[in-house]
Structure 1
Amino acid sequence: MGKPTGFLEFDRENSKAIKPRKRIKDFNEFHIPLSKERQETQGARCMECGVPFCQSGIVLNGATTGCPINNLIPEWNDLIFNGNWEQAYNRLLKTNNFPEFTGRVCPAPCEAGCTCGLNGISVSIKDNEMAIIEEAYLNGFVKVAAPKVRTGKKIAIVGSGPSGLAAADQLNKRGHQVTVYEREDRIGGLLMYGIPNMKLEKHVIDRKVDIMKAEGVEFVTNTNIGTNYKASKLMREYDSVILACGASTPRDIKSPGREAKGIYFAVDFLKATTKSLLNSNLEDGEYISAKDKKVIVIGGGDTGNDCVGTSVRHGATSIIQLEMMPKPPDERAQNNPWPEWPKVSKTDYGQEEAKEIFGEDPRSYETTVKEFISDEAGTLIKAKIVKLTSKRDEESGRMSMVEIPGSEYEVEVDLVLIAAGFLGSESYVTKAFNIEVNQRSNVITEEDKYATTVEKVFVAGDMHRGQSLVVWAIREGREVAREVDSYLMGYTNLQ
């Protein structure tokens, strides 16, 4: 440990966010990193404790705490405190293929498990990780490292999100020839079109993909396996196939009037904005605009917040965000002790921006849409909102949210964005490969395994485990790579 009393001597310091009224003028990332010296001081706060929950990556009480990819956090915290940034980068890369992604978009379950958080404020692990990878790029520590020997084995990966990219990176380093197929026009999957630029600017993805290309990974875009490219062709031409297509089927809202014009899934809204932004800086008009519109976002979580932040940048005249569940407490409840993920109320960037512009938090808890109301032309004009309360079912004993009689009220609305989460894999992909899925439409495998019910076809990421975090997708990509390598070679030396 470089500084045994660091957590006592130094306060936590984060990268500084640009003020809301200034940052909403564009779609750029808006956090200003600390200086190198101040970031090294943050590394001193790590106690390098005997039981580092920060790198445990376990699920407690239904939520992840600690890092799912088991980052060697105390090690690289100590290394940056001592100014050894290159070695810190080397240790970080042992477990994480894409710290430039997780350092930006991960909700940091590592910090939830930090021992400092038991009686104080956790170490700024996420900012430290981000600083390491950006320092590595700045100083040339990141180098192209193509494998010196090829195995002669060919692997196709369907999907270029975080799980597909992680599997591709690992298997290419092993010496296999890897080709990644992506149905969109750009590589990145969820990272490219599911996460707005203000959280992850797309040149960050391109920078890493260019390195992977130089190392020998092949990428094929605009190719949708199961529609314009036959699955049988992949099966003939490759020794193994990995499906990493994500959980891209959005949950719908079944309220009356759902067919009205002006109701969209959040994923379509966010994707269209990012694509238009990258193609023309929004000048082509090929996106769903919230400008001068009264917006309702149905659903919380990251996606709902991203819809709020994007609508603010479009120039919406008002934003309401509906959340079915009650508002979480401001502090940990007694039944939510450390090191569990803290189930507390948090205000994310989009909500902060909406509050600044419109004068109040956009969230309305314990509410949902009961009915959508349209005009004679079928265009959405109003929504009937109803309040909810928690009630225990007498037969099952389960708690559920039910309507409060007489609590309905109407609000004017021009644009509704449904951010109610995602289901598992898309049926046209699983049918194309004849693989079995469960009731949640996730692909069936043995527990903690990645081989599907079809020989030489494997699965990873959200279409395997359901909608989850980017860091879990990276873990699954690394683990499926080990399983495929062992399948092809009879053993594996991948970590």
Structure 2
Amino acid sequence: MGKVTGFMEYERIEEGYKPVPERLKNYKEFVIGLDDQAANTQAARCMDCGTPFCNNGCPVNNIIPDFNDLVYHGDWKEAIDVLHSTNNFPEFTGRICPAPCEAACTLNVNQLAVGIKSIEHAIIDRAWENGWVKPQPAKIKTGKKIAVVGSGPAGLAASQQLARAGHDVTLFEKNDRVGGLLRYGIPDFKMEKSHIDRRVEQLKAEGVTIRTSVLVGEMPKGSKVTNWAKETISAEQLKKDFDAVLLTGGSEQSRDLPVPGRDLDGIHFAMEFLPQQNKINAGDKLKGQLRADGKHVIVIGGGDTGSDCVGTSNRHGAVSVTQFEVMPQPPVEENRPMTWPYWPMKLRTSSSHDEGCQREFAISTKEFIGEKGKVTGLKTVHIEFKDGKMVEIAGTEKEYKADLVLLAMGFVNPVATVLEAFGVDKDARGNAKASTDFTGGYATNVSKVFAAGDMRRGQSLVVWAIREGRQAARAIDEFLMGFSDLPR
């Protein structure tokens, strides 16, 4: 370990933010990462526990005490090697992961956790700056061909692992650029897309063939999910042309709110709103972009997607932004002895909330109201939970003014008909049915067709997608070769 008494001597150091007025003027990242001294001090707080719960708290099982120790001793190059051994894209997780590893940190029992995420962020940024991130093409090719459908974090991780194992990988993406929900779901102010672009170049140098604007199967009629596919390819063609197929599409079917007035103009899913701004930021021209300029915006849904809508609306110049959450307001501080080392339920205030947002908890929307076919407001009521049921509280009815309503209540399952096209069995939630055990891991009921990431587990974190992509890659390698040296 770095410093035996470091956790007693040093306080947690948070990453900095640029001032709100400055960051609202653009869509650039505004987090100020740790300098060398701050990272050294933060890493010194790691106790190198006998049982490092952070390793298991992290879905990709990052070897956290080891890279903390290396940072403390200034060995940044070795630190990125350790980090890359479990995580293909730490620049993604170092920016947008909620850091379940920190919730599991032993120090978090009665103090503030080690800033593991900020250290990870510092390691990968220095690695890119110093040219340590290089392509790793396979020395021996197997001659096996694999199709990966969906270029989000699961598809990217699986493609990289399979290419490094010597397979010929073709990555298919229905949108015009690689990245999936990383590209068109996450605002640039949280993660600039140049981070994806340079990984794409790395994958190409490692032998991955990338085909964008290609839809596998058919998009359901009437789907409102933004799609820029120019070419369609059938499931039968992929099964004919490739030795294995991995389905890694995102969970894009938004949860709807079927209350009176839902058909009024001005009510949109978050995934109609957010991708358009990302397209504009990339230099594209769009007609009729959904914008919040001069509008009273209501965001329904209290999670990360709702927070992204808040931040984007404020950058547009909304008059007001209000966010609804149907669940009661959680406590500001968790009961650590009760929750550690698991992910705690507590009030989480994002940087977007700090930029300007009124938050309402335990509130339910009863009806959208409007004039001349356009939404002008909504009727709400506060609720409470009794005997496990949601019950309205009499006398709490209220009307809110709204010119734009954004539905950000989560995602229920993959939106595309790709599963039907392949004949893949679904689970009760509409996701691909596939086990993750060691025998036949990630295999579906269809011969040589596998599924991972949101396509299999449903809406989840980027770090879980990377984990599943890596594990599915090993399963496919073993399926094709009879064994695998890839890490699971």
Q: Which residue of 1 aligns with 2:106?
A: 115
Report the Cα distance in structure 2 between the residues aligned to 1:363 and 1:84, rounded to whole angstroms. 44
1:209 partner letter: V
1:462 partner letter: D
SS state at 2:121 partner = helix
Report the Cα distance in structure 2 between the residues aligned to 1:342 and 1:438, rounded to whole angstroms. 28
Question: Aligned match of 2:469 in 449, 464, 477?
Answer: 477
- Which string of whole-angstrom CA distances, capped at 9 and with x for unpartnered residues, describes residues 384-419 of structure 1? 111111111xxxxxx132222342211211100000
Q: Which residue of 1 aligns with 2:33?
A: 33
Report the Cα distance in structure 1 between the residues aligned to 2:76 and 2:335, rounded to whole angstroms. 39
Structure 1's unaligned 5+ residue stretches are 57-65, 356-361, 393-398
User: Equivalent residues in 2 for 1:36-75 (5 A)?
Assistant: 36-56=36-56, 66-75=57-66
Question: Aligned match of 1:329 in 324, 328, 331?
Answer: 331
Report the Cα distance in structure 1 between the residues aligned to 2:288 and 2:127, rounded to whole angstroms. 37
- Which string of whole-angstrom CA distances, capped at 9 and with x for unpartnered residues, describes residues 180-222 of structure 1? 0000001000110010001100011101111111111111000
Kept in 1: contact 2:2–2:72 (CA 8 A): yes
Report the Cα distance in structure 2 between the residues aligned to 1:294 and 1:231, rounded to whole angstroms. 45
Q: Which residue of 1 aligns with 2:452?
A: 460
SS state at 1:258 partner = coil
2:257 partner letter: I
1:492 Cα deviation from its structure 2 partner: 0.8
Report the Cα distance in structure 2 between the residues aligned to 1:319 and 1:305, rounded to whole angstroms. 11
Q: Which residue of 1 aligns with 2:424?
A: 435
1:380 partner letter: V
- In the superposition, the TM-score normalised over structure 1's length comes to 0.93
Q: Which residue of 1 aligns with 2:190?
A: 199
Kept in 2: contact 1:324–1:366 (CA 8 A): yes
Kept in 2: contact 1:25–1:313 (CA 8 A): yes
Kept in 1: contact 2:34–2:119 (CA 8 A): no
Question: Aligned match of 1:92 in 75, 79, 83?
Answer: 83
1:259 is aligned to 2:263: yes
Structure-2 change in CA distance of 1:447 and 1:154 (3 Å): closer
Q: Which residue of 1 aligns with 2:368?
A: 372
1:410 is aligned to 2:406: no
Q: Which residue of 1 aligns with 2:376?
A: 381
1:14 is aligned to 2:14: yes
Report the Cα distance in structure 2 between the residues aligned to 1:194 and 1:234, rounded to whole angstroms. 27
Structure-2 change in CA distance of 1:459 and 1:284 (3 Å): closer
1:314 is aligned to 2:316: yes
Question: Aligned match of 1:390 in 385, 389, 412?
Answer: 385
Structure-2 change in CA distance of 1:295 and 1:465 (3 Å): same
1:39 partner letter: A
Report the Cα distance in structure 2 between the residues aligned to 1:37 and 1:330, rounded to whole angstroms. 30
Superposed CA RMSD in Å reads 1.3
1:168 Cα deviation from its structure 2 partner: 0.4
User: What is the percentage of aligned positions where both structures have the same residue?
Assistant: 49
- In the superposition, the TM-score normalised over structure 2's length comes to 0.94
1:236 is aligned to 2:267: no
Q: Which residue of 1 aligns with 2:221?
A: none
After TM superposition, which residue ranges in structure 1, 4 or more long, deviate above 6 angstroms? none
Kept in 1: contact 2:109–2:336 (CA 8 A): no
Report the Cα distance in structure 2 between the residues aligned to 1:287 and 1:472, rounded to whole angstroms. 32
- Which string of whole-angstrom CA distances, capped at 9 and with x for unpartnered residues, describes residues 333-392 of structure 1? 37843212121112111111115xxxxxx11001121001121x3111121111111111
1:77 is aligned to 2:68: yes
Q: Which residue of 2 aligns with 1:246?
A: 250
Report the Cα distance in structure 1 between the residues aligned to 2:76 and 2:336, rounded to whole angstroms. 40
- Which string of whole-angstrom CA distances, capped at 9 and with x for unpartnered residues, describes residues 148-196 of structure 1? 1110000000000011111001000000000100000010001100100
1:33 Cα deviation from its structure 2 partner: 1.5
Q: Which residue of 2 aligns with 1:166?
A: 157
1:424 Cα deviation from its structure 2 partner: 1.6
SS state at 2:282 partner = helix
Q: Which residue of 1 aligns with 2:223?
A: none
Number of paired residues?
Answer: 471
1:368 partner letter: S
1:137 is aligned to 2:139: no
SS state at 1:383 partner = strand
Report the Cα distance in structure 1 between the residues aligned to 2:389 and 2:321, rounded to whole angstroms. 26
1:427 Cα deviation from its structure 2 partner: 5.3
Q: Which shifted more, 18-27 or 466-475?
A: 18-27
Q: Which shifted more, 195-204 or 2-11?
A: 2-11
Q: Which residue of 1 aligns with 2:302?
A: 300
Structure-2 change in CA distance of 1:74 and 1:249 (3 Å): same
1:37 Cα deviation from its structure 2 partner: 2.4
Structure-2 change in CA distance of 1:489 and 1:447 (3 Å): closer
1:53 partner letter: F
Q: Which residue of 2 aligns with 1:61?
A: none
